[in-house]
Structure 1
Amino acid sequence: MYKSLSLILSIFSFSILYSQIDTSKVVSSEFEAVEIIAYFSKQPLLGLTSSANTISSELIEKQQSTTLLPAINTVPGIRMEERSPGSYRLAMRGSLIRSPFGIRNTKIYMDEFPLTDAGGNTYLNLIDPASISSIHVLKGPDGSLYGANSGGVIRIQPKGFNVNENKGSLLLNAGSFGLFQEQLSVQRKVNDKYSFSVDQSFMRSDGYRENSALNKMTFQTAHKWKYSKKNELKVLALFSDLHYETPGGLTEAQMLEDPTMARQAAGPNPSAVKQKAGIYNSTFFGGIAHESRITNKLSHTISIFGSYTDFENPFITNYEFRTEKNLGIRTYLSYQDKFKDNIEWQMQLGFEGQKGWSDIDNFDNNQGTPGAAQAKDELDNSQASYFYRANMKFYQKWTIEASIGINQAKIEYNSLFPETTNSSGEIDFGDILMPRVATSYLLSKQLAVRGSISKGYSPPTIAEVRSSNNIINTDLRPETGINYEVGLRYETPNRRFIADVSAYKYNMSNGIVRQIDENGADFYVNAGEIDQKGIEASVWVYVLPPDTDRFIRKLNFQTAATYNNYRFGDYRVDENDYSNNNVTAVPDYVWTNTLTFTFPKKIELNISHNYTSTMPLNDANTVFSDEFHLVQLKGTWNWKVSSALEIQFFAGIDNLLNESYSLGNDINAFGGRYFNPAAGRNYYGGVKLWF
């Protein structure tokens, strides 16, 4: 462990040493300004009032092409896990104690279309990484404009909406544990008015552990049509068919004995292998957006979207079938103007609403075959958000903005089986006002300071109100809180060095916490107050700018550090007092580094490192995970065959240091089954063609 840490520190020190070169003595290359799509437009990151990051498609491609996890984890304040292939979990400025799988607290969009459905669930694992143009991250509560969230907002830009040239690619990848991956991507700019993309993928893997195989097929298409000078239409459609097996958690003794085993039989409960535990998810997601520039100052945007999901989950104690249907609309007016060229201002007024219908049926699981009925429920949920934002910029230096949203959430339920005296009803989470006030000031052309106060709000999701114990919990309340934040951004005149730091304090009330019963089924309780404090810092350095005369033609370095000080307030469960304990599943420290070397002959080497400190795995803080250093390598060689064809050969190593770690733990697990061991050192390689 100490040798691996010394290696990482040596690389980090090497990069910092080079970054201190006097930029006035090097090639005066000026790098492009970092821009982010936020608050209804694309704008430079330097003067933004929020803590934010942009993940480019280039950064995604430099990592393993099968998953978004390494790229997303380069953003401080975000923790993404993959307990087994395909089983994603993600938390932004929060813990994973709400999430058995999936995403909570965070609102995710694909362009103008919310991927987060009306029930609060987000199936991020349906998206293929190769179909993404960029990812834009806004950290901290932003419910004033984007509906319910307490962690932040992620906007994924699909390929097809910003096509500048005709191009296509085909990727074939194979690796350890029976991995095979195929990706086909085609973008076409038919003319100045119409462009589109088609992205198709297939992936399979046997997995590192027993009962952890994955099969995934996706098809995505995006179209943009500027049918008149002032009107534009965008269409997005995604279909994904996903099946992955779920191996389940192990005790520490089982993990040490054989980390590749799946969950074993215990008491009356059979093993994961015997029950054929897994997830089947077939989803169609689509939307149509229209933008009209009514005048030079006034525009209107409207998007209509929906999804249909067939979900099947053979679990240890039951076999679940879910049918989920969602429809929604998002629309807003935007107006912008100037006063004497020194003051710019704009405002937006809009509405976002979603309606969802979920049918959930549970049966006995007879070794992977549905048996007798256990429970059948219908849950209809709705969410609505009315929002207004005003923004003013003075002399291109000082930005002040204020926004406010009124959010509503309701769930109507009807228990069909077994019938009870309270078999139907409504859970109304009420109307909540969500304001945000923020400012940013340019102290110089390269240095900006910012601050904000905002309210967070996250109602329980359908999967939490009606969790795997098959009980509809009418007592669960939404998380709310106030976030206070300050930050600083700096960039050198030619943008060879960019730094960003932020500090925040979020006082959460009614924090939602996951618990596990003796059968392994989850349920949720409100944990009272949770005090969340954090510091996040990022640095991007072009250590060596492009130069064809050097052996190292180019060297880029990126580092991100996160410090979390999360503590429970007054929190008791039965006779147990967890007050003032560390919040479950939150590491105190996370540190990521990325080095990219470019050599002659278009050879490139990417080295990424992730350090995650220990974290408590139960609310009592009696069990902790081990810290780990995860190092990954990927090398590429590009060969330009002709003006119309280029071939890339690539190879990579995952977990170079062969660490024993768990990338995704089961929280508050009954029987001590906390651990989902990740693979040791493993390999992959393949070829990619551009045409």
Structure 2
Amino acid sequence: MLTKTYKIIILKKYLSLLIFLFSASIFAQIKGKVIDVVTGATLSNVEIFSDNNLITFTNDLGVFNLETIGTFTFKRLGYNTLRFKVKSKDFQIIQLHSKASELNEVVIDANHIPKELKESVSTVSIISQKDIERGNSINISEAVNRSPGVFMQSGALNTNRLTIRGIGSRNLFDTSKIRAYFKDIPLTNGSGETNIEDFELNAISQIKITKGATSSAFGAGLGGTILLNPTNAYLNTTSINTEFTIGSFDLYKSTLNFNHGDSKNSFRGIYSNTTADGFRDNNNYNRQTVTLTTNHFINSKNELTFLGSFVDFKAFIPSSINQDDFENNPEIAAFTWRQSQGFEDSQRGIFGVTWDHVFNSKLKYITSVFTSFRNGFEPRPFNILDEKTLAYGFRSRLLGETKFLKKSVQYTVGGEYFKDNYQSQTFQNLYQDFPAGTGSVQGNQLSDFEENRQYFNLFFEINFDVSDKTLLVAGLNYNQTQYNLDDNFPVSTNNLNQSGSFKFDGIWSPKIGVSHQLSDQLSIYGNISQGFSPISLQETLLPSGQINNDLEPETGWNYEIGSRGSIFKNKLQYNLAVYRLDVRNLLVARRTAQDQFVGVNAGQTLHDGIELSLNASLINETNFSVNSFFNLSINDYKFEEFIDGDNNFSGNDLTGVPSEVLNAGLDFSSKIGFFGNINFQHVGEQPITDSNNLYSENYNLTNFKIGYQKTFSDKIQLSIFYGLNNVFDEKYASQILINTQGFGGSQPRYFYPGNPVNYYAGLNFNYSF
């Protein structure tokens, strides 16, 4: 039996253990992480205050430790200060919103190598949610055109062509040679074509545009990369937001935005419906969208993100018109498109899942899997197109940090695989055989193709801290692209079967860049990089029906130097870049018959330019603030060598690109609730033909928007707004169709008329539960 003394000793030990465990439970540290609410980037060096006393910082992974629960203040340069109440000892996620006035301090490349914008070796434009909200949230071109070096022509809500530094200008109706992603999901199909105009603008919180072939981790697109960040789901809040807009040309738009989040999981769903009759004949538009995002912070090492988007629209097509109609009767549609009542009926969807895993403080793994589809039906005067696309793929990369020569080296290595199956059939359009007003009538089948298109990118990039102020960046991308075509039509038009395959040689695209901090507010940078543009399978088809395996993809070297920073006590932010883009193996569509083209490598172009952006805080008082912006692009783009058949266009201006683009504006807001902005855009003349015998005229547009916002309680907020576009009713061509020809004595149809003066007005209601 135990002695009494021994029992007392054991009892004391148990009591000591209980006291230790109880103390540990009381004083156990609370762990958490601070992230950018838009990009999900972890934020280091966030200051955490308690009762105005600095108590700790976040580390390189954005992680912090607190001793107890309570209310804390989180501060970081470039982000809005947040006061947050920690209610439990669970792992905490803190979301910070970036400041539009301090974008140079914002962390970019969340799923690449995170770094502040001021350290980037590339020219990057960040279009914030505030920039997007300056306009009417109907057409994305208003937002992206405020980025210098970027120009989006918009013939209609479903007819757009975007160029970056002149790349993509030779495409007639769509965007190509530029890569785009919706977060991690590719929006660029297997033929290199991109559509970003169908997304609901209220579902986009940020647009990041990297100019030039400098993004090795997102493929080495010849013109650059566009990254759309969806409006993220917020933690620790439940709210519902609805907005209604009406306007000219029977515009009506409604949006419903719901968010729910607890401490670790969040969900956001956005539905929108947009209808309009349009300024021109045969211009009706109807679009519905659904966008879903969810975030799940499983623990301190694992995160899951789900993203889905569905778009269903039907848009009638007025097409381009000739110069006489453009000047005298711009509201009419092209005759054949009006008679056939041509339209585009499309359903598009994307879905992706991203897993983010932290191994340790020096190694992280991110992988995404995605799928997408598109169904399209397009009756056109010359035929009816029925098409289907189904795609899938994945992106994976490791992000790590190590030491070299006692200096920090951050690196990423990974890959992306993409495959899509494209099926297309064309049919006769028999509208001419029926009474006027009947519209398109489907006739006999003309073709039946199936394309299997795939590519994979392997990429590697390192960031080496040469010193506390100098960063060296080197990257390499390898791409392999392949097409297979099956001609399933028994007898083609030329009695030939066009089945075949096309496989590019592997393309290596290197880049190297450096940035140097002259001070905490000023930096300079430069880079040299190479990019390429894949050839679409249609461009490889010869008149004989065979595939031309001798074509070379367009490649280009990008050289640039620049500077960014803030001056006058951060009242003025600037970005300045000077660049040259040297493009080889220029690919052009050479007409061999009225409705037949063949792709040929025809020469070389030089793209020299200057880009400048300024953002100034003119008044920053508690009761009233005024901010301004100024963006300028000066473009000197030439055909250095361009021989097309018997024509020598060497030395001419590059077709379809304005000589200069200027955007400027003022924003104001007041404590009592009034807000507004005014925007001015100047677009210089642009050559319409390769021979330069015809140029479009320059034009100036002025838009403004005013509104009033009222907060009735902590839960209810209401705002109303009114906007007027093209205030001075300027007559201009919103999109140019280059090098078109007239047949049968008709004039060439070069012009898409822009909208005359038009208004919009709306109401926004927000309720927080």
Deviations 1:607-653 (A, max 9, x none): 11110000001111111111000111111110222221111111110
| Corresponding position: 1:669 with 2:740 | yes
Match of 1:158 in 2: 230
**Residue aligned with 1:141, SS:** coil
Match of 1:305 in 2: 370
User: Structure 2 vs 1, CA of residues 164 and 42 (structure 1 numbering), >3 Å: closer, same or farther?
Assistant: farther
Match of 2:573 in 1: 498
Query: How is 1:17-416 mapped onto 2 (pairs within 5 angstroms)?
Result: 32-34=102-104, 35-38=106-109, 40-142=112-214, 144-160=216-232, 163=235, 165-191=237-263, 193-264=264-335, 271-337=336-402, 343-367=407-431, 368-416=440-488
Match of 1:622 in 2: 693
Deviations 1:207-248 (A, max 9, x none): 101111111100010111111220111111111001111111
Q: Is the 8 A contact 2:233 2:261 kept in 1?
A: no
Match of 1:445 in 2: 520
Letter in 2 for 1:578: F
Unpaired runs of at least 5, structure 1: 1-28, 265-270
Letter in 1 for 2:195: Y
**Residue aligned with 2:707, SS:** strand
CA distance in 1, matches of 2:317, 2:592: 19
Query: How is 1:452-601 mapped onto 2 (pairs within 5 angstroms)?
Result: 452-462=527-537, 464-465=539-540, 476-492=551-567, 494-514=569-589, 519=594, 524-548=599-623, 553-599=624-670, 601=672
When normalised by structure 1's length, the TM-score is 0.90
User: Structure 2 vs 1, CA of residues 601 and 161 (structure 1 numbering), >3 Å: closer, same or farther?
Assistant: closer
CA distance in 1, matches of 2:238, 2:566: 34
Unpaired runs of at least 5, structure 2: 1-98, 432-439, 743-747
User: Structure 2 vs 1, CA of residues 366 and 477 (structure 1 numbering), >3 Å: closer, same or farther?
Assistant: farther
User: Structure 2 vs 1, CA of residues 42 and 60 (structure 1 numbering), >3 Å: closer, same or farther?
Assistant: farther
What is the CA distance between 1:96 and its match in structure 2?
A: 4.2
2:755 to 655, 661, 679: 679
CA distance in 1, matches of 2:388, 2:408: 48
**Residue aligned with 2:142, SS:** helix
User: Structure 2 vs 1, CA of residues 421 and 274 (structure 1 numbering), >3 Å: closer, same or farther?
Assistant: closer
User: Structure 2 vs 1, CA of residues 123 and 469 (structure 1 numbering), >3 Å: closer, same or farther?
Assistant: farther
CA distance in 2, matches of 1:61, 1:471: 49
Match of 2:32 in 1: none
| Cα RMSD, aligned residues only | 2.3
**Residue aligned with 1:513, SS:** strand
CA distance in 2, matches of 1:463, 1:199: 37
**Residue aligned with 1:83, SS:** strand
Letter in 2 for 1:625: S
Match of 1:688 in 2: 764
Deviations 1:648-686 (A, max 9, x none): 111110101110001111111112210010111111111
CA distance in 2, matches of 1:331, 1:488: 32
User: Structure 2 vs 1, CA of residues 155 and 30 (structure 1 numbering), >3 Å: closer, same or farther?
Assistant: closer
Matched residues, number: 651
User: Structure 2 vs 1, CA of residues 247 and 474 (structure 1 numbering), >3 Å: closer, same or farther?
Assistant: farther
Deviations 1:378-435 (A, max 9, x none): 1111111111111112443100010111111111111122345553211112101100
What is the CA distance between 1:520 and its match in structure 2?
A: 6.2
CA distance in 2, matches of 1:217, 1:30: 30
Mean Cα deviation higher: 604-613 or 492-501: 492-501
Letter in 2 for 1:150: L
Letter in 2 for 1:480: T
Letter in 1 for 2:695: F
**Residue aligned with 2:695, SS:** coil
Letter in 2 for 1:348: T
User: Structure 2 vs 1, CA of residues 143 and 479 (structure 1 numbering), >3 Å: closer, same or farther?
Assistant: farther
Match of 2:727 in 1: 656
CA distance in 2, matches of 1:640, 1:520: 59
Larger RCO: Structure 1 or Structure 2 (Cα < 8 Å, ≥ 6 residues apart)?
1
Deviations 1:418-466 (A, max 9, x none): 3455532111121011000000001122211101000011112356557
Letter in 2 for 1:276: Q
CA distance in 1, matches of 2:327, 2:589: 26
User: Structure 2 vs 1, CA of residues 207 and 343 (structure 1 numbering), >3 Å: closer, same or farther?
Assistant: same
Letter in 1 for 2:750: Y
Letter in 1 for 2:529: S
Match of 2:79 in 1: none
User: Structure 2 vs 1, CA of residues 613 and 319 (structure 1 numbering), >3 Å: closer, same or farther?
Assistant: same
User: Structure 2 vs 1, CA of residues 520 and 634 (structure 1 numbering), >3 Å: closer, same or farther?
Assistant: farther
Q: Is the 8 A contact 1:542 1:555 kept in 2?
A: yes
What is the CA distance between 1:522 and its match in structure 2?
A: 6.5
CA distance in 1, matches of 2:753, 2:204: 29
User: Structure 2 vs 1, CA of residues 122 and 580 (structure 1 numbering), >3 Å: closer, same or farther?
Assistant: same
What is the CA distance between 1:334 and its match in structure 2?
A: 1.0
**Residue aligned with 2:131, SS:** helix
Deviations 1:37-65 (A, max 9, x none): 22714432212111001111121112111
Letter in 2 for 1:223: T
User: Structure 2 vs 1, CA of residues 30 and 318 (structure 1 numbering), >3 Å: closer, same or farther?
Assistant: closer
What is the CA distance between 1:579 and its match in structure 2?
A: 1.4
Letter in 2 for 1:539: L
User: Structure 2 vs 1, CA of residues 90 and 119 (structure 1 numbering), >3 Å: closer, same or farther?
Assistant: same
CA distance in 2, matches of 1:113, 1:37: 17
Q: Is the 8 A contact 1:657 1:681 kept in 2?
A: yes
Letter in 1 for 2:749: R
Q: Is the 8 A contact 1:491 1:497 kept in 2?
A: yes
CA distance in 2, matches of 1:127, 1:463: 27
Mean Cα deviation higher: 513-522 or 54-63: 513-522
Letter in 1 for 2:514: T
Match of 1:12 in 2: none
CA distance in 2, matches of 1:467, 1:180: 46
Letter in 2 for 1:78: V
User: Structure 2 vs 1, CA of residues 206 and 575 (structure 1 numbering), >3 Å: closer, same or farther?
Assistant: same
Letter in 2 for 1:684: Y
**Residue aligned with 1:322, SS:** strand
What is the CA distance between 1:143 and its match in structure 2?
A: 5.2
Deviations 1:310-331 (A, max 9, x none): 0111112111111111111110
**Residue aligned with 2:205, SS:** strand
User: Structure 2 vs 1, CA of residues 281 and 517 (structure 1 numbering), >3 Å: closer, same or farther?
Assistant: farther
Q: Is the 8 A contact 2:500 2:546 kept in 1?
A: no
Q: Is the 8 A contact 2:733 2:752 kept in 1?
A: yes
CA distance in 2, matches of 1:597, 1:467: 57
CA distance in 2, matches of 1:66, 1:295: 44
User: Structure 2 vs 1, CA of residues 313 and 296 (structure 1 numbering), >3 Å: closer, same or farther?
Assistant: same
Q: Is the 8 A contact 1:95 1:584 kept in 2?
A: no
